[in-house]
Amino acid sequence: MTDLLVLWDVDYTLVSADGLGTRLYEVVFREMFGRELTAVAPKAGRTDRAIIGDTLALAGVSLAHVDAFLAALARAAADGTVRGQVRPLAGASDAIAALASSEASPGIRQSVLTGNIRPLAALKLRLAGLGDHLDLDVGAYGDVHEVRAELVTVARHAARQAYGTDFSGSSTVLVGDTPLDVEAALAAGARAVAVATGSYSAAELAAAGAHVVLPDLTDTALVLAAITSTVTGHGATAAGPGSRASTDEADRPSHAG
């Protein structure tokens, strides 16, 4: 099997964070500016750097404060005083563990490519019990750039330094729940595996150009097949036994965390 770098999105791909990120934004904003944060910019699929910039603009605050806000957010996430009911999404733990098993996939390395800054991503994964088998040192995080696609290069470089392997082209696989996850993969020539567990339907993810769309992560064999390219077809929707190909609109989260 060809070596693969699997980069998982965090929110609504691996975990549901119950608005933890938004609450941290509110705490940091109150501490920095002495008033309440009344609106947060759209978050789905975007990086913290981009979200914070737009959120500060909505509040009439200079973008010169973005880096200070990111630093304060990192401290607040690391100290763990703001908590949330973070839970793993169904099948996430089994999928990560299956990919990590040497029998199934000896050449697979797993990390994250997420809009969260690293301390926040690490907190969510720890609270969800998903820290094992993910090499966070070769991940890419939301403080690096406003554009998610730019994070792919960062993760590939870190993985090459760590493992001595060139994860170019489709040897990098992004797994995520938004069109921006798909866009990032396609822009970097990577494989895009979309999961309809967030606020976008399987049809929307397929239209964005995902190579494979899964209804969720509950069918471990299907997840492994999608990631290792044994399920093929641009925009193909893969549905396991008893799975829905899309998530009903009323059931989809708003990416508040």
36 plus 150 within the same structural domain? no
Same domain, 126 and 59: no
236 pLDDT band, cuts 50/70/90, is low
Average pLDDT over residues 37-58: 94
| CB 130, CB 88: distance < 8 Å | yes
> Which two tokens mark 21?
């990120």
**pTM score:** 0.88
Cα torsion through 128, 132, 137, 142, rounded to 10: -20
- pLDDT of amino acid 254: 47
Q: Based on the fold, state whether residues 44 and 92 are members of the same structural domain.
A: no
Helix (H) or strand (E) holding 124: helix 118-127
- The reply to whether 255 falls in a domain is no
Confidence of residue 85 (pLDDT cuts 50, 70, 90): confident
For the CA atoms of 118, 147, 21, 196, what is the dihedral angle to 10 degrees? -100
The residue out of 47, 79, 111 marking a domain boundary is: 79
User: Can you give the residue range of the structural domain that contains 243?
Assistant: 4-16+88-249
* Whether residue 72 sits in one domain with residue 97: no
**Number of domains comprising the chain:** 2
Q: Work out the angle at residue 9's Cα, subtended by the Cα atoms of residues 63 and 149, and round it to the nearest 5 degrees.
A: 55
**Distance from the Cα of residue 32 to its chain's centroid:** 27
